[in-house]
A and B are shown apart, each in its own frame.
Chain A
Amino acid sequence: MSEFNFELTKEIELLRLVTVGSVDDGKSTLIGRLLVDTKGAFEDQLMAVRKKKGTRHVSSAAEVDLAMLTDGLSAEREQGITIDVAYRYFATPKRKFIMADCPGHEQYTRNMVTGSSTANAAIILVDARHGVLPQTKRHTHILGLLGMPHLIVAINKMDLVDYDQATFENIRKDMEDYCAKQGIKDLICIPMSALTGDMVTVRGDKMDWYKGDTLLETLESMSVLDDLDKQSFRMPVQLVNRPQTADLPDYRGFMGTIASGTVKVGDAVMVVPSGKTSTVKDIVTFDGKLEEAFALQSITLTLNDEIDVSRGDMLIHDGEAVEAKKMLTANVCWIGDEDLENRNKYIIKHACSELKVLVDHIDYKTDIHTLNHEPSDRLAMNEIGQVTFKLQQALVFDSYADNRSTGSFIVIDSFTNNTVGAGMIV
């Protein structure tokens, strides 16, 4: 075994992925191959789902029933269906991947939105024999709405079209044309055969005409550098820490995860919506005070002035012009059993605040097949539309395109307490 390099393990980055596909496009085989080839599945787990009971070792994805490996619930195995998003983990020396595996059939909107909400990149599967299907377009449309930064199109089952370059190029052109309309800029199409493994983790020798990277190389090398740290500073206040202990009688720390931007000691900050201002005294962490903190770090800030700050407020840089608004328009994916209807009241959770809202009107419903906008007074489960809400109190928010954290919210049914909608602010 080669020398283990502890320093290198500290450089490993995290990439959150979502995989989507239609029934029978080979998604399980592809995921299985990634797990087996990167050793993301253990031998005893593979042995438990091997096809031939006599097999002593399992060395390839083809030898195991991969759906059994991934369908974790007994109801799923009994019915041969995948009910829910499953999360899988694999790593290479360069990156760790968290993959949300979304079932492709029933309730795909709900599952796709859930699985995609935290992902930085999506793998969408296309069967080379069938090309771009209506379902592929629907999935791509939803990924576009969700603002997926990177999209990889895995053009699978190339072995069944004799590894034909023209077939691949046609599908690539279709996808590029469609994505351009959706505003998806970063698109990579890779021809592959999950069954034989060609272009998944190894190049193989059948598709020398393709000069790009394998799927795994692409996943390892694609830019995960978001520009979150370059955006305006946003820190929703999650909790106010007032230990009031003998050592810390007057300590008041504002705890939160930085949604975007950076903050430095001494920076002038404003609390919204109140508009009160102060300067940053300390950036406190268990590992010592920081001079500067940046997006996605969970920190505690102390301020130089005693101003009123509580959960649900947001800290931003002083001088930035933001406005608290009482109306909000968003693309809404409805995931509740009962329809969203005009004039209904709900609770929304946005960053760290919860507030009552009223459906002011439904701007339109998107026909998921044609993508046409049509008038509607309701949204049923798995439907998507643009909805305008009236808010109980003024709220500071961003557009989802600008900021995924401060531009998203969930809709909660106040009677059942269930999460019934996902909102992306326009």
Chain B
Amino acid sequence: MSQHKLTQLKALEAESIQIIREVVAQFRNPVMLYSVGKDSSVLVHLARKAFYPAPLPFSLLHVDTGYKFKEMYEFRDAFCKEIGADLIVRRNEDAIAKGMNPKEFGVARCCGALKTSGLLDALEEGGYDAAFGGARRDEERSRAKERVFSMRDEFGQWDPKNQRPELWSLYNGRIHDGESVRVFPISNWTEMDIWSYIRDEGIPIVPLYFAKERPMIERGNMLIPYYEENKDQLLEGEKPTMVMSRFRTLGCSPCTGAVRSDATNMDEIVIEAAAARRSERETRIIDHGSNSMEDKKKEGYF
């Protein structure tokens, strides 16, 4: 192999850095959506590489539902402090005050209020014309058709049938007033790439990704994490048991399942990801049901 050849992860890295820089060059007021998960960790790491030795030229925006795992909040605050990032946290306080939750209102309504509305309000409030997200095309079939620069109308909505062709690495970020762009720099990364890169680069991630004995509610095929504070999540006849488990993907605690696993370090996680026969989105309740991701994306979900 020629010494002037990039390995596939380094090629992906270079592509992502180019995309991130292009947004800063083309837009007035970009922001990076930060969800605290592994893909966000990689995205922030790539952004730091893009602008080194300068600090990040944009803020991180966490649209918080209030339902994230407590380990995620602890990690978020420590991580942002350590890297000197400017973190903005926004919540849909109206909906939270009204007691929005997935159990009573349904997952779709809860996501719509706390995530989609929360995000659209936060983007409008900040006046951001571009928002980076850590979505990957391999995650879900409607995302396979997503552009790297994804146009949104004044209502933040996506029109999948009318997307700009995207050629070479020439990104057209021209927009009219009121419109905005969602940008996905890690579009071409797979779950395996993410884990391998986290391992190779030593990128910090939320400890919930590593296997440990954790109290879980076993419901059907799902492993639902149990917390003392939320005893009411137990259905009749259920009781928590200790299960050696970890998370492949992290969302809101009531809607994210764990998987049985003995992978306690990055090497073991990469080996497990390489052998995985089922997709990571399987543990996310929001994706189940027909078209749910596409519908939510059209409405403005990231």
Contact = CB atoms under 8 A, between A and B. Distances in A.
A409 B12 CA distance: 22
B277 interface: yes
A14 B8 contact: yes
A207 to B, nearest CB: 31
Interface in B156-170: 160-161, 163-170
Interface string A127-169: 0000000000000000000000000000000000000000000
B172 A417 contact: yes
A347 B172 CA distance: 11
Contacts of B174: 347, 412, 417
A6 B52 contact: no
B8 A409 contact: no
Contacts of B143: 72
Nearest to B175: A417
A257 B172 contact: no
Interface in B258-302: 267, 270-271, 274-279, 282, 290-291, 294
Contacts of B200: 10
Interface stretch (B34-42, B188-196, B212-220): B188-196
B12 A45 contact: no
Given A410-B167, A418-B164, A91 B175 contact: no
A118 B90 CA distance: 38
A404 interface: yes
Contact of B144 (A86, A256, A262): A86
Nearest to A14: B8
Contact of B169 (A45, A96, A118): A118
Size category, B interface:
35 or more
B161 A113 contact: no
B50 A243 contact: no
A42 B276 contact: yes
B169 to A, nearest CB: 7
Contacts of B275: 1
Interface in A225-258: 225, 229, 238-239, 241-243, 245, 247-248, 251, 253, 255-257
Contacts of A287: 49
B53 A248 contact: yes
B170 A73 contact: no
Contacts of A89: 137-138, 188, 190
Interface string A410-426: 10100001110010000
Interface stretch (A174-182, A210-218, A289-297, A359-367): A289-297
Complex A-B, nearest 4 residue pairs according to Cβ-Cβ distance, in ascending order: A243-B54, A72-B141, A229-B4, A14-B8
Interface of A: 1, 4, 6, 9-14, 39, 42-45, 69-75, 83-89, 91, 95-96, 98, 110, 113-114, 117-118, 225, 229, 238-239, 241-243, 245, 247-248, 251, 253, 255-257, 262, 284-287, 294-298, 300, 311, 335, 347, 349-352, 404-405, 408-410, 412, 417-419, 422
